[in-house]
Amino acid sequence: MKKYFTILFLIFTTILSAQQPLLEKVKIPFTLSPNGHIIINAKINGVDGTFIFDTGAGMNLLTKKFADKITDLEKTHHFHTGHRATGEAIQSDLYKASSLYIADYSSTDRIFAVYDLEFPLDGLISLTALKNQPFTIDFKENILHLESESSLSKIQQKADFKLPLQVKNDRGIEISVSTTILLNNTLALNVGLDSGAGFGVYRFNSKYMKDLYVDSTKIKSEFKPSYFIPKEGNTYYYTEIDTLSDINKNTSITNFNATFIEGLLYEGIMGINWLGNKLTFDIDNKLLTVIK
CB-count exposure of residue 140 (10 Å: 0-12, 13-18, 19+) = exposed
Bridge partners of residue 146, in order along the sequence: 26, 135
> If we measure between CA atoms, which residue out of 152, 100, 166 comes closest to residue 129?
100
**Residue 11, pLDDT above cutoff 60:** no
Question: Does one domain contain both 104 and 171?
Answer: no
Model confidence at 18, in pLDDT bands (50, 70, 90)? Answer: very low
**Residue 3, pLDDT above cutoff 50:** no
* Chain centroid offset of residue 208 CA: 24
Domain presence at residue 144: yes
Q: How far apart are CA 58 and CA 176, in angstroms?
A: 5
Domain presence at residue 24: no
Question: Does one domain contain both 127 and 250?
Answer: no
Report CA torsion sign: 86, 87, 92, 94. positive
CB 48 within 8 A of CB 106: no
* Chain centroid offset of residue 62 CA: 16
Please provide the size of the chain in residues.
292
CB 192 within 8 A of CB 269: yes
**Residue 7, pLDDT above cutoff 50:** no
CB 160 within 8 A of CB 224: no
Q: Domain range holding 257?
A: 152-291
Question: Does one domain contain both 39 and 143?
Answer: yes
Question: Does one domain contain both 274 and 221?
Answer: yes
DSSP 228: S
Model confidence at 227, in pLDDT bands (50, 70, 90)? Answer: confident
Q: How far apart are CA 31 and CA 192, in angstroms?
A: 23
Q: Residue 76 contacts by C-beta under 8 Å, 6 or more apart in sequence?
A: 93, 94, 95, 96
Report CA torsion sign: 259, 218, 214, 240. positive
Q: How far apart are CA 151 and CA 138, in angstroms?
A: 14
Q: Which amino acid is at 31?
A: T
For 100-126, write each residue's pLDDT tens digit. 999 999 998 899 999 998 899 999 999
Phi, psi of 203 (to 5 degrees): -120, 135
Q: How far apart are CA 38 and CA 14, in angstroms?
A: 35
Domain presence at residue 163: yes
Q: How far apart are CA 199 and CA 142, in angstroms?
A: 14
Question: Does one domain contain both 95 and 179?
Answer: no
Question: Does one domain contain both 76 and 185?
Answer: no
Could you tell me the CATH number of the domain that includes residue 38?
2.40.70.10
Model confidence at 262, in pLDDT bands (50, 70, 90)? Answer: very high
Question: Does one domain contain both 156 and 287?
Answer: yes
Name the H helices within 118-253. 149-158
**How many distinct structural domains can be found in the chain?**
2
pTM of the model: 0.89
Question: Does one domain contain both 162 and 59?
Answer: no
| ∠ CA 73-108-170, rounded to 5° | 90
**Residue 10, pLDDT above cutoff 70:** no
Mean pLDDT taken over the chain: 90
